[in-house]
C-alpha cells in the first residue's frame, strides 16, 4: 500500500501545560524561558511537536482558556520576545510548535465583549445575548449557562465559566476577526493549532428551549451541522494556505462526525472523548465507575477502524484528566511497569500520539488534603453548585472522588529533580507539588536505564523506524479477553503484534488461532524476557510486548 505521508502523522506530540512546566524567574509559575531551557530535554526524548496550552493575556479565570488578548503574552509567562525565542529554539532542533486556539469563547475582559455589552457598532452581536434565558442549560461546571450583565441589561451564554462568554459564530464579522488572528499567528511561524472545544462553535438558531434533557448546554447541540460548515470555511480561508497540523478538541464527537471533520472539513485529526468516559458516571461528574477493559477495547477499536481516510489522535491524559498511570495503570506497586505498558499502548496505535508532560516519568495523582489546595475553577464551581443545591452538605463527603478526578492532578508541577519543589521553581509554587517528587523525577529517571523515561525514548525511536506502527492497518485480536489488549498493525507485509496486560492480572495469554506466529521477533518489552515465543505467554502484571516480522 502506498502511503500518503504527512509530517504530523509521523510526529509524536508533547503537551506542555505552561504554568506547571518550569519556572525560570522564581515567581512560582512556569514560564516561556523555563520551557526554552528544557528544549534539549524534549529533543533527547525524541518528540517532534510541542503543543503549548494558552499563554495569552488573560485574567486566568480558567488558567488561560479565557483569553483577553489573542495577540499578546501574559506577563506571568514572559514576553512576546520570550515566545519568539522559544519558537526559534524549537525550530533550531527541528521541533515544531502548535498553539492553543480558544475561539468558542473569549474572556469577559476581552475588548470584543466589553464593546458588545455596550452595544457598540458591529460588536453588538458578537456574543449570545438574550433578554431572558431561553432555556435552563447549565455551564459545564454546574451553574446556569446564562448570566445577567448589568451594563447591557441582558443575559449572555457561557458554556463554561461565567468569565468565558461564548462567541456568536453565526456573525460573519466574528469569524473574519478570528481568521485574521489565526493568520497573524501563522505568519509568526507556528506549526499548527490545537482547537479548544471547536465542535461547539456551531450552535442551533434559534437557541432551543429544551425544557428537558442533559444538564450541560453543550450536550444539546455538540457537533451541530454549522460546526462542520464553519470549520470548512476556516480551512478554505486560512488553514489550506499553510503546511500546519490541526487537532480539534471535540467533546461528545461521534466516529461519523470525526470522519467528516477529518476527511471533508480540513481538520487533520480530532480528540475524541469516548474512552475518557469509560470510567465516568454519565450524570455525576465526581462518580467513578468500574473500568471495563472490554468496553474500552470496543471503543478504541471502533476509533482505530472507523475513520476511513481520516486520521486519529491518541491520548490517555492531558491537563483536564487525572494522571494516566493513576487512572489506567497502577500508581502503587506496579507504577513503573504499568506506566510502560500504557506508553506501549499510546505509541503503537494508529494515529498521532499526544504525550502529556510528566507521563514520560510516570507522574501520579496528587494527595490533596483540603479543598483549599485545589486551584481549578471547575472544582470550586462544581462544589459550590453542589452545596447550593443541597446535593452535598460538605466537601468532605466527596473529597476522595474530587481528589481523584481533579484536573489539578495533571497540573501539579513537573518533577525535575529531588531538590526543593521538585526543581520546578525557586519560589513558592502556584499549586501543590506532589510529595512523591524525591523518588519520581527526571533526574532520577535519567540515572536509571530501566526507567519509564528511557522506555519512552526507546519506544519513540522504534515507532519512527517502523512504518507499520505509523500507517499499518489495525486489527484487534482476542477481543473477548477481559485482561489483555492485543492487536496487530500491518503494512506491506510488515506486521507488528502488540500484547499488553491492561489490568495487572493477566496470567497466561495464548495467541488465538489464525494469528500467524512464524517469524515474529521481539521488538520492545517492559520486562526482561527469557522466552520470546509469543504463542503462549505467562504475562507478568502489566507486561507489554511488541513483536514484528517482515
Ligand atoms: C477544554 C480545555 O482543555 C479546558 O482546560 C478548558 O477548561 C475548556 N476547554 C474551556 O476552554
Q: Are residues 380 and 499 in the same domain?
A: no
Helix axes 293-305, 255-263, angle to 10 degrees: 30
pLDDT of residue 2: 52
14 pocket-lining for ligand 1 (C-beta < 6 Å): no
Would you state the pLDDT for residue 283? 79
Q: Please tell me the predicted confidence (pLDDT) of residue 142.
A: 83
442 lies in the same domain as 490: no
- Residue 280: inside a domain: yes
Do 427 and 489 lie in one domain? The reply is no
Distance CA 521, CA 170 (A): 56
**For ligand 1, is residue 383 a contact (CB within 6 Å)?**
no
Q: Please tell me the residue having the least CA distance from ligand 1 atom 8.
A: 65
150 assigned to some structural domain: no
The Cα–Cα gap between 79 and 56 comes to: 10
Find the CATH number of the domain harbouring 406: 3.20.20.80
User: 406, 424, 458 — which closes off a domain?
Assistant: 458
408 is catalytic: no
Q: Are residues 486 and 366 in the same domain?
A: no
DSSP β-bridge partners for residue 56: 73
Q: Is residue 356 helix, strand or coil?
A: strand
Is 296 in the same domain as 429? yes
Instruction: Report the SS3 class of residue 159.
Output: coil
Question: Each residue's pLDDT tens digit in the chain (550 positions)?
Answer: 456 799 999 999 999 999 999 999 999 999 999 999 999 999 999 999 999 999 999 999 999 999 999 999 999 999 999 999 999 999 999 999 999 999 999 999 999 999 999 999 999 999 999 999 999 999 998 889 999 999 999 999 999 999 999 999 999 999 999 999 999 999 999 999 999 999 999 999 999 998 888 889 999 999 999 999 999 999 999 999 999 999 999 999 999 999 999 999 999 999 999 999 999 988 787 899 999 999 999 999 999 999 999 999 999 999 999 999 999 999 999 999 999 999 999 999 999 999 999 999 999 999 999 999 999 999 998 899 889 989 899 999 999 999 999 999 999 999 999 999 999 999 999 999 999 999 999 999 999 999 999 999 999 999 999 999 999 999 999 999 999 999 999 999 999 999 999 999 989 999 999 999 899 999 999 999 988 999 999 999 999 999 999 8
Determine, yes or no, domain membership for 62. Answer: yes
For the chain, first and last CA: distance in Å?
Answer: 15
The reply to whether 132 falls in a domain is: no
- Same domain? 452 vs 416: yes
d(CA 18, CA 30): 6
Domain hosting 508: range is 473-549
Residues 437 and 505 occupy one common structural domain: no
* The one catalytic residue among 31, 177, 249, 265: 249
Judgement on whether residues 402 and 493 belong to the same structural domain of the protein = no
Active site includes 57? no
Cβ(239) to ligand 1 under 6 A?
A: no
289 shares its domain with 212: yes
C-alpha cell read off for 359: 507521563
Q: Which of 458, 492, 510 is the C-terminal boundary of a domain?
A: 458
Spatial contact of 477 and 486, defined as CB atoms under 8 Å apart: yes
Q: Residue 1 class from Cβ within 10 Å (0-12 exposed, 13-18 middle, 19+ buried)?
A: exposed
Residue 434 counted as domain residue = yes
User: Does ligand 1 have an atom closer than 6 angstroms to the CB of 62?
Assistant: yes
Element (H, E) at 13: strand 13-16
Query: Are the C-beta atoms of residues 63 and 23 closer than 8 Å to each other?
Result: no
- CATH number of the domain encompassing residue 492: 2.60.40.1180
Distance 65 CA to ligand 1 centre (A): 6
CA of 63 to the centre of ligand 1 (A): 9
* Ligand 1 atom index nearest CA of 251: 1
pLDDT at residue number 231: 98
- Is residue 67 classed as helix, strand or coil in its secondary structure? coil
Cα distance between residue 112 and residue 101, in whole Å: 17
Domain shared by 393 and 525, yes or no: no
Number of domains in the chain: 2
Specify if 290 maps to a domain: yes
Catalytic residue among 108, 196, 268, 330: 196
Q: How many CB atoms lie within 10 A of CB 403?
A: 22
Q: At what angle do helices 452-465 and 335-348 cross, to 10 degrees?
A: 20
Ligand 1 centroid vs 99 CA: distance in angstroms?
14
Q: Is residue 232 part of a domain?
A: yes
Q: What is the pLDDT of residue 215?
A: 87
User: Collapsing DSSP states into helix, strand and coil, what is residue 57?
Assistant: strand
In a domain, 152, yes or no: no
Buried b (16+ CB within 10 A) or exposed e, 313-341: bbbbbbbbbbbbbbbbbbbeebbbbbbbb
> 196: Cβ below 6 Å to ligand 1?
yes
Pocket flag, ligand 1, residue 102 (CB < 6 Å): yes
- Please tell me the distance between residue 419's alpha carbon and the centre of ligand 1 in angstroms: 32
For residues 480 and 381, state if they share a domain.
no
Tell me which residue has its CA closest to atom 6 in ligand 1. 65
> Same structural domain for residues 194 and 244?
yes
Amino acid at each position: 500500500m502506498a502511503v500518503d505521508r504527512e509530517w504530523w502523522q509521523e510526529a509524536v506530540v508533547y503537551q506542555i501545560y505552561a504554568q506547571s512546566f518550569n519556572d525560570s524567574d522564581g515567581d512560582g509559575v512556569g514560564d516561556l524561558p523555563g520551557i526554552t531551557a528544557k528544549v534539549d530535554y524534549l529533543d533527547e526524548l525524541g518528540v517532534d511537536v510541542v503543543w503549548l496550552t494558552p499563554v495569552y493575556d488573560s485574567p486566568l479565570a480558567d488558567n488561560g482558556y479565557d483569553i483577553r488578548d489573542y495577540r499578546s503574552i501574559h506577563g506571568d509567562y514572559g514576553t512576546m520576545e520570550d515566545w519568539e525565542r522559544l519558537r526559534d529554539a524549537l525550530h533550531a532542533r527541528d521541533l515544531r510548535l502548535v498553539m492553543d486556539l480558544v475561539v468558542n469563547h473569549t474572556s469577559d475582559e476581552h475588548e470584543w465583549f466589553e464593546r458588545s455589552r455596550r452595544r457598540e457598532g458591529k460588536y453588538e452581536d458578537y456574543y449570545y445575548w438574550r433578554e431572558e434565558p431561553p432555556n435552563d442549560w447549565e455551564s459545564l461546571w454546574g451553574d446556569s449557562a446564562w448570566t445577567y450583565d448589568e451594563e447591557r441589561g441582558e443575559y449572555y451564554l457561557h458554556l463554561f465559566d461565567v468569565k468565558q462568554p461564548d462567541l456568536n459564530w453565526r456573525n460573519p464579522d466574528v469569524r473574519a476577526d478570528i481568521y485574521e488572528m489565526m493568520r497573524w499567528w501563522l505568519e509568526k511561524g507556528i506549526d499548527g493549532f490545537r482547537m479548544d472545544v471547536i465542535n461547539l462553535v456551531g450552535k442551533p438558531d434559534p437557541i432551543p428551549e429544551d425544557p428537558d434533557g442533559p444538564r450541560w448546554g453543550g450536550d444539546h447541540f455538540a457537533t451541530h451541522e454549522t460546526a462542520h460548515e464553519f470549520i470548512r470555511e476556516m480551512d478554505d480561508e486560512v488553514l489550506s494556505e499553510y503546511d500546519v497540523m490541526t487537532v480539534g478538541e471535540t467533546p461528545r464527537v461521534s466516529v461519523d462526525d470525526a470522519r467528516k471533520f477529518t476527511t471533508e472539513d480540513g481538520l487533520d485529526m480530532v480528540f475524541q472523548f469516548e474512552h475518557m468516559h469509560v470510567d465516568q458516571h454519565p450524570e455525576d461528574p465526581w462518580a467513578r465507575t468500574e473500568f471495563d477493559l472490554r468496553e474500552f477495547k470496543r471503543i478504541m477499536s471502533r476509533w482505530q477502524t472507523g475513520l476511513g481516510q481520516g486520521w486519529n489522535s491518541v491520548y490517555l491524559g492531558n491537563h483536564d484528566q487525572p494522571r494516566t498511570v493513576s487512572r489506567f495503570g497502577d500508581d502503587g506497586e506496579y507504577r513503573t511497569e504499568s506506566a510502560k505498558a500504557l506508553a506501549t499502548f499510546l505509541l503503537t496505535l494508529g494515529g498521532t500520539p499526544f504525550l502529556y508532560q510528566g507521563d514520560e516519568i510516570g507522574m501520579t495523582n496528587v494527595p490533596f488534603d483540603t479543598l483549599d489546595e485545589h486551584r481549578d475553577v471547575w472544582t470550586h464551581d462544581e462544589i459550590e453548585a453542589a452545596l447550593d443545591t443541597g446535593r452535598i452538605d460538605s466537601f468532605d463527603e466527596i473529597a476522595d472522588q474530587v481528589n481523584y478526578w481533579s484536573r489539578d492532578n495533571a497540573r501539579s508541577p513537573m518533577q525535575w529533580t529531588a531538590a526543593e519543589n521538585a526543581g520546578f521553581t525557586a519560589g513558592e509554587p502556584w499549586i501543590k507539588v506532589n510529595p512523591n517528587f524525591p523518588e519520581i523525577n527526571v533526574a532520577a529517571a535519567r540515572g536509571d536505564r530501566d526507567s519509564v523515561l528511557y522506555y519512552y525514548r526507546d519506544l519513540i525511536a522504534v515507532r519512527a523506524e517502523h512504518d507499520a506502527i505509523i500507517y499499518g492497518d489495525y486489527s484487534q485480536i482476542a477481543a473477548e479477553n477481559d485482561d489483555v489488549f492485543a492487536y496487530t498493525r500491518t503494512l506491506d507485509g510488515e506486521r507488528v503484534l502488540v500484547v499488553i496486560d491492561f489490568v495487572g492480572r493477566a496470567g497466561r495469554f495464548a495467541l488465538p488461532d489464525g494469528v500467524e506466529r512464524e517469524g515474529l521477533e521481539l521488538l520492545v518489552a517492559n520486562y526482561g524476557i527469557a522466552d520470546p515465543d509469543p504463542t503462549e505467554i505467562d504475562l507478568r502484571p502489566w507486561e507489554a510486548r511488541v513483536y514484528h516480522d517482515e
